[in-house]
Structure 1
Amino acid sequence: MPLTFDLTAPEVVDDPYPFLAAARDEGSVQWHDGLGMWLTFTHAAANAVLRTRSLGRLWAPRTFPDAAPDETMAAFELIHVNSLLENEPPVHTRLRRLVAGAFARGHVERLRARIAELADRLADDVADAGVGGSPVDLIRYYAEPLPVQVIAELLGVPESDWSLLRPWSNAIVKMYEYRVAPEQRAEAERASAEFVDYLRGLVVERRARPGDDLISSLIAETDADGARLSEDELVTTCTLLLNAGHEATVNVVGNGVTALLGHPEQWAALRADPGLVPGAVEELIRYDSPLQLFERTATADTVVGDVTVEAGSKIAALLGAANRDPAVFARPDDFDVTRADNPHLGFGAGIHFCVGAPLARVELQASLTTLLRRFPGLALHDRPQRRPEFVIRGVQSLPVTI
């Protein structure tokens, strides 16, 4: 029987995991009438979706029944049709080789000390806001600005322009949900156009005066055949790094600190042994995944689990369900920072495995280490406010006392 539960229902958005577990009991892959696609509920099925080559990321412009006759999404389409995330080989192979080559120029190590410095500087802001026991929104003062600043440093965006990035990213990623209002589409298009124009200007500057930033490396990078990135591909790569890297990181911190402070014994374990931080970061990603759903399209009839996904049909890996699968994770609903065996799918798998995963891990470890060192008595002041979306799962506000 097709699934009918609404992924956008407030109770599902608030805590999807009981709904995903109940669905898993009915089958590893099931059809969802409302979304018009197959959904996976086990680790094995999600892993197959992410790795099977006949299930591709094939970008197609979305249509909306309530769209005005003159509505256009040209800038939004531009930053996706050229994206390595939305392409398959051979285009994906060329783009990923170039981006990986640019990353290999030492950007993660270059930023390691700077990330710790940025986290400490933001911790100063948290301390100032929390003087006298006042509640502090950890999202506003810490989790949200840190990844923006890291991506800005990576791309070489001047500090005077850092404030531009978060609103652009926030507007664009709302398009990844399944219910998007006309005003949200207009905001996403405006943000896409402004970001593209800004990046084109930055590319012109870096071509004239190269620096030690990733944009300069991407301009200089060639693959073995000498094929360079086009300007549209370069701009698209930069928007992908902001949207994917920033949104995921801010939501891992928000979801993760919420989990840690809701399990004070786990926070105490980290305080007692900071050496647990690298493993704890993986558990934060597994326990409350910042990306819940990743779509693929069948290019040929493909068997996943016990169903056949017909060519042209869509199937989505539900990463949150995969990361709570009891067939893979002992006590999957327990939050355990000492968990050793943790093959979560939070960074994806296969050819679309997150190219920025090494940087994200450095950033998340620095973020958590700084919070532990600076605010050992960190505690929840009030119930966190969840973002009202399912696909990108995060916390809008996280009131704490320090």
Structure 2
Amino acid sequence: MDVAEAMTLLLSPQGRLDPYPAYERLRAHGPVVEAWPGLHVATGYAVIDEVLRDPRYVVSYEPLPQTTVAGWAESPAVASIARSMLRANPPDHGRMRQIVAGAFTPRRVAALREVVTAQAAALVAAMAERGRDGTTVDVLDAFAYPLPIGVICALLGVPEADRSAFRTWTADLTVVLEPEISEAELAVADRGAVALRDYFRDLVEARRRTPADDLTTALVQAHDAEVGRLDAEELLANLVVLLVAGFETTTNLLGNGLVVLLGHPAHAAALRDNPDLAGAYVEELLRIDSPVQVTSRISSVPVAPGGVPVPAGGEVLLLLGAGNRDPERFADPTRFDPTRPQNQPLSFGGGPHYCLGAALARLEARIAFPLLLRALPDLALAGEPRHRARLTLRGYATLPVTTVTRPHQATGVEPRRTVATTSAERRRIARVSAGERGTPTGAGPGTP
């Protein structure tokens, strides 16, 4: 299969559901190949890591990327991404990132452990109660979505009652991150973007009237206090991106990882017996089926990644999921092996755009997997999980399981307790994110 055929496979509905065969067909042509004029594709771990860290590559030349899709330049979905730190280069990237980075320092993330553990335990207890008679439970609905959305919404100061619509809105918006989209898909993304921007516009005004110890207040104060620090469009765009990045990848990590664990019962049993192994397990789960599969960079000058010439202005599509299975970097790369030495997956990116929320996502996963396995020892797939037809953000649309476990014996948490964040937990998250003072400062690991 030549490169063009492999790219056609990768971008097809089949490739979006399972990109790994297409990755291997591309890898057969080298760690970097020219897909068509103006676009190179990288599958090699070393090359991807190099490009992510090399300042000669940028995320975009223009405020909006170029495309042939009608309406792209006027798209609210594109604006919601393009005006955020996700698509910004120096000095704008550092200016925006610094405002929120203080909420994601290792110290502040570690301080959230008790809150995350309590929320996770309550969700598992509710799962056990719902499935105690053998009823099928969707892990995404019951656990993998509400856990990270509860944490990021508490950080942002989003009331519990307003969170239910976010899953649909963000699912609609994030199609704009795909390498190729249609006009119909862009229209869907725009609807999600408009809904999210309208919501945060109202929240901004509410925080302007009544400040709180949350990230939304911090961004509003940065916008209002100093001309040029954060304009109105950047304020809304970064709130949208913080929400999306704060739970989308973690939801996918929890869902993808659980399927892998249930498919490897011996490894699952080892983690159940020894939760201290969770750190190594999470790294291998990130590697074997990354929740983020694709990103890209544009060369600002002529470069030669992997020895392949790329002209100034050329785009390099970085297939993170392929790099994570590069046999030059990982022995027997398709095998799930939590004991791998020096396991450093590319799933959270690298360089200046390394995911700000990486430490928080890891914390949630390190708590969630052992808890699920210990509290629900009979946890099993109930039918075939269904993937979303997305390449960039890889995850499941449905993930049905059976639990058949008594909640009090499993978790010690009363099933009557709400599975949403309690008022005390929201206050604790806000205090941690604000450094017990208010506007966060400093730098640390969170959104790309």
TM-score if structure 2 supplies the norm length? 0.82
Aligned 8 A contact 1:279 1:340 in 2 = no
Whether 1:188 aligns to 2:192 is: no
Bigger shift: 171-180 or 354-363? Answer: 171-180
State the match for 2:374 in structure 1.
373
Aligned 8 A contact 2:16 2:391 in 1 = yes
Q: Which amino acid aligns with 1:54?
A: R
Shift of 1:61: 4.2
Aligned counterparts of 1:178 and 1:105: Cα–Cα separation in 2: 33
**Please, which runs of 5 or more residues in structure 2 have no aligned partner?**
404-448
Aligned counterparts of 1:183 and 1:243: Cα–Cα separation in 2: 21
State the match for 2:64 in structure 1.
60
Whether 1:277 aligns to 2:281 is: no
Query: What secondary structure is seen at the aligned counterpart in 2 of 1:80?
Result: helix
Whether 1:46 aligns to 2:23 is: no
TM-score if structure 1 supplies the norm length? 0.91
Aligned counterparts of 1:335 and 1:346: Cα–Cα separation in 2: 16
Query: What secondary structure is seen at the aligned counterpart in 2 of 1:294?
Result: strand
Query: Compared with structure 1, are the counterparts of its residues 105 and 236 closer, same or farther at alpha carbon in structure 2 (3 Å cutoff)?
Result: farther
Whether 1:395 aligns to 2:399 is: no
Aligned 8 A contact 2:148 2:250 in 1 = yes
State the match for 1:32 in structure 2.
35
Aligned counterparts of 1:73 and 1:384: Cα–Cα separation in 2: 36
* Match 1:21 to one of 8, 21, 24: 24
Aligned length: 396
Shift of 1:226: 9.0
Per-residue CA distance 1:316-373 (angstroms, 9 max, x = gap): 1110111111222222111122334211111100010001111111122222232123
Whether 1:250 aligns to 2:247 is: no
Query: What secondary structure is seen at the aligned counterpart in 2 of 1:131?
Result: coil
Q: Which amino acid aligns with 2:56?
A: S
Aligned 8 A contact 1:115 1:150 in 2 = yes
State the match for 1:360 in structure 2.
361
Aligned 8 A contact 2:261 2:267 in 1 = yes
Aligned counterparts of 2:73 and 2:233: Cα–Cα separation in 1: 18
Query: Compared with structure 1, are the counterparts of its residues 37 and 147 closer, same or farther at alpha carbon in structure 2 (3 Å cutoff)?
Result: same
**Please, which runs of 5 or more residues in structure 1 have no aligned partner?**
none
Q: Which amino acid aligns with 2:49?
A: N
Query: Compared with structure 1, are the counterparts of its residues 241 and 121 closer, same or farther at alpha carbon in structure 2 (3 Å cutoff)?
Result: same
Aligned 8 A contact 1:29 1:39 in 2 = yes
State the match for 1:132 in structure 2.
133
Kindly report structure 1 stretches of 4+ aligned residues shifted beyond 4 Å.
Answer: 104-107
Q: CA RMSD in A?
A: 2.4
Query: Compared with structure 1, are the counterparts of its residues 219 and 290 closer, same or farther at alpha carbon in structure 2 (3 Å cutoff)?
Result: same
Aligned counterparts of 1:325 and 1:15: Cα–Cα separation in 2: 17
Aligned 8 A contact 2:106 2:359 in 1 = no
